[in-house]
Structure 1
Amino acid sequence: MKAGFVNIFGKPNAGKSTLLNALMGEKMAIVSPKVQTTRHRIKAFLNKPDEYQIIFSDTPGIIEARYKLHDKMMGAVKSALEDADVALLMVDANDNFEESDAIFSALKLKVPSLVILNKIDIAKNGKIAEAEAFFATKSYCKQLIKISALEKHHLQKLLDVILTFMPDGFPFYSEEDLSDLPTRFFVSEIIREKIYELFGDEIPYHTAVLINEYKEKEALTKIQADIVVNRDTQKTIIIGERGKMIKEIGTLARKDIEAFIQQKVFLELFVKVKPKWRDNDMRLKEYGYH
């Protein structure tokens, strides 16, 4: 059988998390139209017993670091470079190809790389042909594959090509598992996704989510989480008038968590102010940014 690591790189909003979820048929990574939604390296295992185990890694969008939080995010990208068997270099079909090229060239990849041209369903006139001509001349591009992660177009073709580059080997992880990350991690990410959905540009980037309690009982899982913000004004916004917004975060998150863990959930949320947490090593470690 075949077994190996396939790591996904690209600019923020190229569609990396959408692709991971589409390939897995499960919501493994949170998705938002806002940039920098993914902060961790998320590994997901696509298993076909006796045939293959592909370990996909979704990585944070490549950015210039402005906070220690960003340094940790770019550290996740660096660690993904070190163990890949195949790299998927994702490009938004409507984007500036020069910018993506600058990022891919700087990665100095030593493994076979496939350029994944995403969002072909909404590509502007001539952009697909332009991308084909542009990336054909790049030394890192073994092949260009055109897909729509959102519409799930050409995903089987992409999988077939990936498998041609996969080494033979035994599974690295149990074929029962979908990820090496704990359920608590995915629960905190679901809560964070709702903050991205409900609030404007600034607030999501100032928030972290910490799961303090996760108790599984026979008929119910009890979860208590803190939403951490930088300032009191942000706390006021997240709570909302008469607690309206925090209730909405809780309602939306609970539905998704119940679907994810297949059990009824009691979810309790608190908002805590921790000034400058994005630049505090101790806090970052506490919130799971190692």
Structure 2
Amino acid sequence: MSRFLERLREVSAEYPEKEAFFNSRIKEDACQRLTYAELDAWSDSLAASFAEWSPKGKPVVVYGHKSPLMLVCFIAAAKAGLTYAPVDIAYPSDRVNDILDQIGHPLVITLSDDEFPGDASLADSVVGDAVVREAALAGRSWDSSRWIADETPFYLLFTSGSTGRPKGVQMPSRCVDAFMDYFRALFPERPDGVSFNRVPYTFDVSLFDIIAGLASGYTLFSLESEDEQSMRATFGALAASDLTTWISTPSFIEMCLVDPSFDQDLLPRLDNVILCGEVFRNATALKIIERF
């Protein structure tokens, strides 16, 4: 049985009304919030539906972009004993089709406001946002004995394809548990922790906040793409985030550090910085120490 899922259940019982996720467009859409109780209950109910909808042994493809329902789908797939494969709305149709072709007729969950760009004939079935929401809110129970475990891949991430055809990289459930154990130590224990959920779920950096952050009972704050169009909008969203733990690539924080206003006054609660995915330069470290 997945220890990560067990830990999520413990957090949900301890902090049921705490937000597990919110994004920077919260004022425009109140549906962009998700509590830990909702994450647990909705993923249970959706797991029952996934077990019925998905071809046995096939990953569940989740198409969308950093919505709370995407997180629910990821956890629901794992509870159903299935692998999840995130596909971002930024992907062109030929890349989406290549992923479907490599997996071989999977269940596709599409959470985008726009029409699914892939070839539906390459999927076993394509289920839209409204049906997924209805299933998540149906209140169905689910037996934890059917949760993902051991060598079964927890997730499937497709590479950028910069060196050839994109390849699906699988991560077994036991490795997700080990990842959780190791990286939770980087998250200070605090009941009001807020972690930066910046990158799309198709990038491995997102697993730091999804796995270690949720297992630590943190709220994931997601910076929406609309707020990344200008540094002014980005900084405005960050100022309202109450971030305590920053997670990004070094290059993103270097871009922020160019502006002198990126400092302790902007993020007064920030006390933890985790950088990954690229070379971390000494000069960048010194700037962070100086500003914070």
TM-score (norm 2): 0.36
Greater Rg over alpha carbons, structure: 1
- Structure (1/2) with the larger strand percentage: 1
TM-score (norm 1): 0.36
